[in-house]
A and B are shown apart, each in its own frame.
Chain A
Amino acid sequence: AQKITQTQPGMFVQEKEAVTLDCTYDTSDPSYGLFWYKQPSSGEMIFLIYQGSYDQQNATEGRYSLNFQKARKSANLVISASQLGDSAMYFCAMREASGGLDSNYQLIWGAGTKLIIKP
């Protein structure tokens, strides 16, 4: 079974609108971290935001926030007031504590969502 599922292969959003990128995860481990990364067309992989499984509050970083619904195993990325520069691939990733030292807590990646912001 897929551990990280991003159900939206692509999205078109009007500039200045808010956008929600979906991410669901599958784990039985109580300790895990969820990460979002952005990959623009130039290729670099940019860390956006992190949410730990024990964090009580939803993570926020500037225009990025994470809508963390633990019971639903959902960690959606919300971008407020989208800009043309937000056009990119967005990846959701997870690390589990049960990954352990042998696997060195490897990141498990989703397939990504391609976001295009329309002017």
Chain B
Amino acid sequence: DSGVTQTPKHLITATGQRVTLRCSPRSGDLSVYWYQQSLDQGLQFLIQYYNGEERAKGNILERFSAQQFPDLHSELNLSSLELGDSALYFCASSTNPTWADTQYFGPGTRLTVL
């Protein structure tokens, strides 16, 4: 158990809908990262927050948004969902975003868009 929690574990929804994925980082970690992993693909970095502020953006679509709250939990909002958004979404956390810092991953949320 990495100490990072994600809810829900599974999510099935229809095209055009909006969903919210939630992440709680490990105790003491200030940095939260969101990743998308499509079937048989590597991880695509979406966005990173550090202590409530957006720090870096990766390949995040405009239909997606995220935020990190004062209690450090984070939410990833996916809207106008398309079939291609079906993927495993990971949240990871780390203490300080340096080159030597290890990211610990949550169990992921498996999103299926029908």
Write out the residue numbers on chain A whose beta carbons fall within 8 Å of the beta carbon of B102. 35, 47, 50
User: Taking the complex as formed, is A97 at the interface, i.e. its CB lies under 8 A from any CB of chain B?
Assistant: yes
**Per-position binary interface string of chain A over residues 94-106, scored 1 when its CB falls under 8 Å from any chain B CB and 0 otherwise:** 0111010111111
Instruction: Please report A residues at the B interface, Cβ cutoff 8 Å.
Output: 31-33, 35, 37, 43-47, 50, 52, 91, 95-97, 99, 101-107, 109-112
Q: Is the CB of A46 within 8 A of B105?
A: yes
Q: Is the CB of B42 within 8 A of A45?
A: no
List, sorted by A's number, 30 A–B pairs whose CB atoms are closer than 8 Å: A31-B99, A32-B99, A35-B103, A37-B105, A43-B107, A43-B108, A43-B110, A44-B107, A45-B43, A45-B90, A45-B92, A45-B108, A47-B102, A47-B103, A50-B102, A52-B100, A95-B100, A95-B101, A96-B99, A97-B98, A99-B99, A103-B56, A104-B48, A104-B50, A104-B55, A105-B97, A105-B98, A105-B99, A106-B56, A109-B43
How many residue pairs, one in A and one in B, have C-beta atoms under 8 Å apart?
66
Q: How many B residues touch A, CB cutoff 8 Å?
A: 25
Write out the residue numbers on chain A whose beta carbons fall within 8 Å of the beta carbon of B108. 43-45
Q: Is the CB of B99 within 8 A of A47?
A: no
Write out the residue numbers on chain A whose beta carbons fall within 8 Å of the beta carbon of B110. 43
Write out the residue numbers on chain B whose beta carbons fall within 8 Å of the beta carbon of A44. 2, 105-108
